[in-house]
Amino acid sequence: MNVIELQRRRAEAAVKSLNTLPALPGTAVRLLAELGPSGADARRLAALVNQDMGLAAKVLRVANSPFYGQSRSIDSVERALVLLGLDVVRNIAVASSLDPLFRGGQIGPGFHMRELWRHSLAVALLADSIAHQFLPAARPQAFIAGLLHDIGILVAVHVLPSEFLQLVGDVAQYVDADRTLLAELELRHLGATHDELGAALLEHWLIPEPLLRVAANHHHTSSDAGCAPSGAASTEDPLIALVALADRLSTEVGQPIGLDGRPPTRLAEACAGLGLEDAALTNLVALEQGRIEALATQLSG
């Protein structure tokens, strides 16, 4: 059997064993499955969250935290929907549901599950902020797309634990490894890249196609190679370009993840074909820096 064939078989085996992942709470599955282009319906969202008392309590705690700056206290999911809006409540509910999957401490040299979670939150918040200012049409899905973009790493941790340990051991030997080398190491150890594993998991969870495409392609955009010639990225899916840019900017807010192979990004290079100005991005990054830790603390409390 040649190497390619072996890799293909291992990727297939990894995908087939996805049912060994920790089960997502039923509410999270339904919340994620309903993230179609038109978003969830407020009444349905409130009903889903209220079905799960633990989740409802957590959503209210986060909604009342200084992070969202509400002067009035929010005592029901319905009130949170009025004051914060449907997208924000749904984002809090999904992040609260996923948080427990990212526990597990240090896994090998230089890799900690909470760092992966903080990186995912950082990309979610950055994508949401960029969309809010520059790409309003992408905003309903920006936060969740950012949150899920590296979920393939979670698959590797749970499904291929010994192979993943070897991978992080290998990666630790390379300082500033680029994405091409890291993808080669992933193929060697896991039989698939984290992009492929993430897409397979989201398909398994019946997550809407646009979010699956982000997980599958976030390392295959023009922004990954630096500034694209203007127009080259215009054919790109804006949601993918948005998350790829947020992923690069995660180094600016001190939340990179080594397995992504993102070199420290100079803002002048982070264009992603979205037509954003450096100054606007600099302000945005400065604003988000303190918020990421605050949200991570609220969600894990």
Q: Which residues pair with 106 in a beta bridge?
A: 112
Residue with Cβ nearer Fe ion (150 or 236): 150
- Under the binding rule (CB under 5 A), the answer on residue 236 touching Fe ion is no
Question: How many residues sit close enough to Fe ion to count as binding (CB under 5 A)?
Answer: 3
For Cα atoms 291, 207, 14, give the angle at the middle one, nearest 5 degrees.
100
> Position of tokens 């209210």?
60
Q: How far is the CB of 246 from Fe ion (least distance, A)?
A: 9
Residue with Cβ nearer Fe ion (89 or 154): 154
- How is residue 173 annotated by DSSP? T
Name residues whose C-beta falls within 8 Å of residue 193's C-beta, 6 or more positions apart in sequence: 152, 183, 186, 187, 219
- Under the binding rule (CB under 5 A), the answer on residue 186 touching Fe ion is no
- Under the binding rule (CB under 5 A), the answer on residue 224 touching Fe ion is no
Q: How far is the CB of 19 from Fe ion (least distance, A)?
A: 23
Element (H, E) at 167: helix 161-171
Q: How far is the CB of 215 from Fe ion (least distance, A)?
A: 8
Q: How far is the CB of 187 from Fe ion (least distance, A)?
A: 14
Residue with Cβ nearer Fe ion (77 or 259): 259
Name residues whose C-beta falls within 8 Å of residue 230's C-beta, 6 or more positions apart in sequence: 273
Q: Using CA atoms in the order 76, 129, 131, 212, what is the torsion angle rounded to 10 degrees? A: -70
Among 196, 236, 247, 252, interactor with Fe ion by CB under 5 A: 247
Q: Rounded to whole angstroms, how far apart are CA atoms 219 and 117?
A: 18
Q: Rounded to whole angstroms, how far apart are CA atoms 87 and 188?
A: 39
Stretch that binds Fe ion, among 30-38, 75-83, 228-236, 245-253 (CB under 5 A): 245-253
Residue with Cβ nearer Fe ion (74 or 95): 95
Rg (CA), the chain: 19
Q: How far is the CB of 229 from Fe ion (least distance, A)?
A: 24
- Both structure tokens of 248: 């690069």
Residue with Cβ nearer Fe ion (96 or 255): 255
Q: How far is the CB of 202 from Fe ion (least distance, A)?
A: 13
Q: How far is the CB of 179 from Fe ion (least distance, A)?
A: 8
Contact positions with Fe ion (CB under 5 A) in 134-173:
150
Residue with Cβ nearer Fe ion (52 or 150): 150
* One character per residue 94-133, x = contact with Fe ion (rule: CB under 5 A): ----------------------------------------
- Give the other-Cβ count within 10 Å of 127's Cβ: 30
Q: How far is the CB of 260 from Fe ion (least distance, A)?
A: 4
- Spatial CA neighbour of 280 closest among 139, 144, 173, 133: 133
| Three-state SS at 112 | strand
- Under the binding rule (CB under 5 A), the answer on residue 196 touching Fe ion is no
Write out the residues near Fe ion by the rule CB under 5 A.
150, 247, 260
